Chain A
Amino acid sequence: MISPATFHVITTELVVGSFAMAGLCFLLHALCRYELIKSKNMVSITDNVAHFALLFGIIATPFAIFSGISSSPGSGFSTPILVNKMFLSMTGFGLAAAALISRWKMGNTILAEKKSMLVQTFSGMAASGLMLLTASAGGSFTRGESLLDIFSLPYDMIILMPITISTILLISGLASTTAVLWKILGKSTV
């Protein structure tokens, strides 16, 4: 049986690798659609690779989060960096899941129109960016340095909302998610 710390390293490597691949493919897809890269094959290749990489990253993310909590020293959130990691990874996870479900349930139509294609690629790239930020915060926590240190990111500051505001946000999110899923599942292309 491996320790949570080792398990966390394995899963975070899977998450970071998958999301980096997905983010790159979303970027290439947008460039192809705007004909900055002229290749018809690339359009479908980047679409497929981006979404499959996103799926793989999404599967690995909960394992990374839970093993990270298990392996952190002390009682879980002993430093602001760990709190920021939790916020960043959960936001990235939400964006990634939304991008994947949109593509799965709405089919090619979301990539046919430029506006929805832009939203899709933005969601995918933002999810990737947030996951890479999470990894950078992890590097700062364990090694005291990371590649993104050049931006002097304020990992030591946290924006913690009162529980009431969080609960309102949670309820409104649940309501909108339920409504949207209700509609999407009613017109699935699969």
Chain B
Amino acid sequence: MFRRVRILFVVVILLSISSFTQANPGGVGDGVFDMQCGGACHGDSSLNQTSSAFISVQIEGSPYLGQPISISTVISGSQLTYSGDLGVFLLTDTTGHSDTPADAQWEILSDSNGGTNNYLEGKLLSGEDNFSASWTIKPTVLTTTTFYVSIHHGGDDTPYFGVSSGLQVEVLPIPDNLARLSPDFTPQTTRPLGEETFVSIATEDVTSVEIEWKVEGSSSTTATANSLGDNMWEFIAPASNQPSIIQWRAILEGEGPSQTTPWFNLVAQEPPFEVDQTAVYIQSFALFIFVFGLALSVQLKLSKGEKTEKQWEQTDQVVQENFPTEAPPLPGGQLPPGWTMEQWQWYGHEYLEELEEGAQ
């Protein structure tokens, strides 16, 4: 018994090793994470080596309160090509905790993967040695923030980590009559394939809106947005039949100073596959145990084991066949002391024989 428990214990430990003490080379998907993994990349940060990759960071747009700016990064270096997979963080300090833009009162409006996350995962395409990512963010309070871009990647069986130099951004109050986006404006970040998209823009102190848009890697096109009244504007993004990213920005004109917004990403993609993992695990285990029980039940029913066992169990038959039909005559008309009638039926004749031999 103790040996079986030990074997079971070893098996459990081995299973745990593969699932809990390893890194996640396949990544964990985009999300909102603090630096130094936050569960995103490696099990033990002390194993990290410094990445030789070069990280450049650029800020685009005027950092007015409630107005979006864009932060873009290009990560390059031959070391990246070892694994191909890359995780990129946008951070507001390097302490390793409470360092997301939200912690510094910045809201992420969009990221280059079509979400609103500070941690993005990507893959270097074959033959390339650089990777680009960008975020559109807006400040919600007057503050000064230093932004960093941090990266995680693999290679040579070693996890690598790198962080850019800081880029300080001071949030300014909004000048009078500045043509601007509404503080409530949140850009649409994704859209389905094969459909034209009506993109709405909420503004303040704006009299006209020009839209400049481009597909990644091609030249830009300009169009005039239609007014919907009440400081609302709209333009049509053409349909895309392939997963792709349209980048667009608005040139806002009004009575006050004009303003150009940062580039926003509009990602055309297949709807992501989502499934309730708990339901999957429960159904998997239910299928296992149900099939297991069903197959065993059928085998038990069909099994001839019980009948075979009964073929060997013939005690009743033997007793019936040899049961004495008549008891020997009682000596003196009564049972000898200490005997029962059943004993007398079986062994009485032996008693009488011994009695006769003793008399002779």
A residues in contact (CB < 8 Å) with B: 1, 3-5, 7, 62-63, 66-67, 69-80, 83, 86-87, 90-91, 93-95, 97-99, 101-102, 106-107, 109-110, 112-113, 115-116, 119-120, 123, 158, 160-163, 166-167, 169-170, 172-177, 179-181, 183-184, 187, 189
Contact = CB atoms under 8 A, between A and B. Distances in A.
A98 B146 CA distance: 61
Contact of A94 (B18, B295, B309): B295
B280 interface: yes
B302 A174 contact: no
Closest 5 CB pairs of A and B: A98-B295, A173-B290, A176-B293, A173-B289, A94-B291
6 contacts: A4-B22, A94-B288, A98-B293, A98-B299, A109-B304, A109-B305
A30 B126 CA distance: 51
B299 A120 contact: yes
A177 B297 CA distance: 8
A137 to B, nearest CB: 14
A54 B350 CA distance: 61
Given A74-B28, A80-B273, A160-B279, A94 B302 contact: no
A129 B28 CA distance: 31
Given A77-B275, A94-B289, A94-B292, 6 more contacts: A3-B157, A75-B29, A75-B277, A98-B294, A113-B302, A180-B300
B298 interface: yes
Contacts of B304: 109, 112-113, 116
B287 interface: yes
Chain A interface, DSSP helix/strand/loop, else mixed:
helix
B311 to A, nearest CB: 12
Contacts of B168: none
Interface in B11-68: 11, 14-15, 18-19, 21-29
Contacts of A71: 25-26
B114 to A, nearest CB: 14
Contacts of A177: 289, 292-293, 296
A167 B281 CA distance: 11
Given A102-B295, A119-B302, A176-B297, A170 B18 contact: no
A157 to B, nearest CB: 12
A93 B18 contact: no
Given A173-B292, A189-B305, A66 B27 contact: no
